[in-house]
Amino acid sequence: METPLDNREQITPMPRIGDKAPEFWAKTTQGDIHFPNDYKGKWVILFSHPADFTPVCTSEFMTFAKLEEKFAKVNCKLVGLSVDGLYSHIAWLRTIKDKIQFRDMKNIEVKFPLIEDITMNVAKKYGMIQPGESETQAVRAVFYIDPKATVRAIIYYPLSLGRNFEEIYRALIAMQIADEFAVATPADWEPGDDVIVPPAGSCGIAEERMKIKDNEMECTDWFFCTQKLDKNEVLEAVLQD
């Protein structure tokens, strides 16, 4: 006999990589948004945080705000979310600008939108509420959504762990390069490093690859070939004018 889904099963589903980003309307600190429709043609990093006026979240928002222009230069917008109300968001962001200093950051103004989600409607759509961690706070989720509104990558962090922003940026660039040059990126890839050529699709191509001797591609076996990709070429492909 079937039993109804318990609460955990009802509130933790999340979009999968390759799915269209769930649509929603929301109030934010920068006005109302229709997501992802308002961001057509852009990459978006949609990220959640547990609560306003908490120290780890404060350090993260200051870091994201400091890096906003850097993300904008590679055609990426930032959108934050927590289950707090709009007035709480506004008060917290004003406090960050007026009072908080973290490392070399001071007087930091958060200009990207922060979503009000007191009903948890958006958080539930994106599986940001993880009952094993908290039933009343969103975990630190990061959704990469491409210009076609497709979910391309997802990173989840527990409440206690602040995010690594170098990795968030690196992953974005790597996905853009994969799209632009039809390649993959190896472990610890950074712009300027060799990239991975997709595996051969036939025995004939595999055999031909093993005979290739040039300065652009190197094959150590039929399935493992790398290709040089100049750092300037990478930056030219991702940076906006």
- Binding site membership for substrate: which residues? 140
DSSP 5: P
Query: The tokens of 111 are what?
Result: 């200009």
The CA angle 87-90-95, to the nearest 5 degrees, is 125
Q: Which segments are annotated as binding site?
A: 140
DSSP labels for 72-115? HTTTEEEEEEESS-HHHHHHHHHHHHHH-EETTEES----S-EE
Cβ(46)–Cβ(79) below 8 Å:
yes
- In the block, tokens 């289950």 appear at 83
Q: Where are the alpha helices (DSSP H) in the chain?
A: 7-11, 55-72, 86-99, 121-125, 165-181, 203-209, 231-238
Distance CA 169, CA 164 (A): 9
In the residue annotation, 203 being an active-site residue is answered as no
d(CA 53, CA 160): 14
Residues designated as active site? 57
